[in-house]
Amino acid sequence: MEKKIEDLEALTEEAKRFVETLAPAANAATLVALSGELGAGKTAFTKAVARALGVEETVTSPTFVLEKIYLLPAKKPFKRLVHIDAYRLTSGAELAPLGFDELMKDPSNLVLLEWPEHVADALPAPAARLSFTALPDGSHKISYG
């Protein structure tokens, strides 16, 4: 499935729709892999997901800090939104210092990961794979698959 997203309002709607398709697994975190070039819209999508889940604090790109964890309000299916940017990593082993294995064991974690290709050797099968493209007309495309 492909969606063309014209603006941030449409992105907010799409993120809301997407999070509603996710449900916690029985014994592992829910991993969402976000692929696409720099500027394709991975962080913007994560921000929209965070808003859809009721995160009120500002969500910024974790490119330098690698990982950010947001606590979600009660009554959401997940307790934590974990945002990881693997852009600067060169192998899955570099996820270990982030406590990635522990994070992935907890079904109450929703993990959104940018640049999954950089750490592919350490990733379990994601619940969803999204691929982002910035289009010449200024809109953004999301491919689900």
- Contacts to Mg ion by CB under 5 A: 42-43, 61
Residue (62 or 123) nearer to ligand ADP, CB? 62
Contact residues for 130 (Cβ-Cβ < 8 A; gap 6+): 18, 32, 33, 34, 35, 45, 142, 143, 144
Q: Choose from ligand ADP, Mg ion, none: what does 67 bind? Cβ within 5-8 Å by kind.
A: none
Q: Does 8 bind ligand ADP (CB under 6 A)?
A: yes
Residue (30 or 46) nearer to Mg ion, CB? 46
Burial of 3 per CB tally in 10 Å (0-12, 13-18, 19+): middle
Question: Cα torsion at 78, 82, 83, 86 (round to 10°)?
Answer: -130
Query: Which residues 50-109 are close enough to bind ligand ADP by CB under 6 A?
Result: none
Q: Choose from Mg ion, ligand ADP, none: what does 93 bind? Cβ within 5-8 Å by kind.
A: none
Burial of 82 per CB tally in 10 Å (0-12, 13-18, 19+): buried
Nearest approach, Cβ of residue 136 and ligand ADP (Å): 13
Burial of 134 per CB tally in 10 Å (0-12, 13-18, 19+): middle
Nearest approach, Cβ of residue 119 and ligand ADP (Å): 16
Residue (42 or 140) nearer to Mg ion, CB? 42
Positions that interact with ligand ADP (CB under 6 A): 5, 7-8, 11, 36, 38-44, 114, 132, 140
